Amino acid sequence: MIQVLRKLTRKMELYPLRLLLERSPSKAMIEKDIHRWILMHNRPMSGSSVPEKLAWLMYAMNLEEFRNVLFYRIGTPTKFLDRSLLSLCKTLFPPRGTLLLATSAIGPGLVIMHGFGTFVDAEKVGENCLIFQDVVIGCKNEKNDRPTIGNYVHISVGAKVLGNITIGDHAVIAANSVVTKDMPPNSLAVGIPARIIRNAGNRAEYVASGDIPA
């Protein structure tokens, strides 16, 4: 009886969020995010529906960081109903307060692991990037002096990416590194200040997962 009531309660809680997603212009982007989060958490849900995957992320994993990305995608709705639904959803599913996404353009598939103390203020973030906790991406000196992050970039714990620089596709930034200069595709940044090692990226990781062609 208790389990039946719990399932009913969860369905009722998820209904406003599902309705909001259906009405959102970013629905397709959000569904790509959901797929990516499921993939990165090694959850075999290929035959599951989007609502089932959403419920797993919201309840089974209780991922606050996913909520941040989700609400970022939804943005600030113009219609009163959507604004009301968003306010209710943020009450039912509060995002992580110490994770800030201030970037105007973020590609699909952004995954943030353990995202406390993480600040993302880039010019642009590409597709399927992976960011960990205590990461700072932002200006170095001037207000608009912000980095551009490519696709499939892996930014490890405590890393700093600062200034008007470009991080190439499939680049990896090691833990606690401070990057203040451009990184070519498939390169690795290590140290303070970061030393760039070419042809050392994580493309193989994504090939192995079947997410991109070899």
Whether the predicted model's global pTM rises above the 0.85 cut: yes
Span 81-93, pLDDT tens digits: 999 999 999 999 9
Instruction: Please report, rounded to a whole number, the percentage of residues in the chain having pLDDT higher than 70.
Output: 93
C-alpha count within 13 angstroms, C-beta hemisphere, residue 97? 1
Peptide bond into 193 cis (omega under 30): yes
Report, as an integer, the average pLDDT of 93-102: 94
Same domain flag for 26 and 78 = yes
Same domain flag for 202 and 159 = yes
Helix or strand run (H / E) with residue 189? strand 188-190
Provide the domain count of the chain.
2
pLDDT recorded at residue 203: 53
Span 15-41, pLDDT tens digits: 999 999 999 999 999 999 999 999 888
Span 154-213, pLDDT tens digits: 999 999 999 999 999 999 999 999 999 999 999 999 999 999 888 765 554 544 344 544
Domain range holding 23? 1-95
Q: To the nearest whole number, what is the mean pLDDT of the chain?
A: 88
The rounded distance, in Å, linking the Cα atoms of 101 and 82 is: 21
Domain boundary among the residues 95, 113, 140 is at: 95
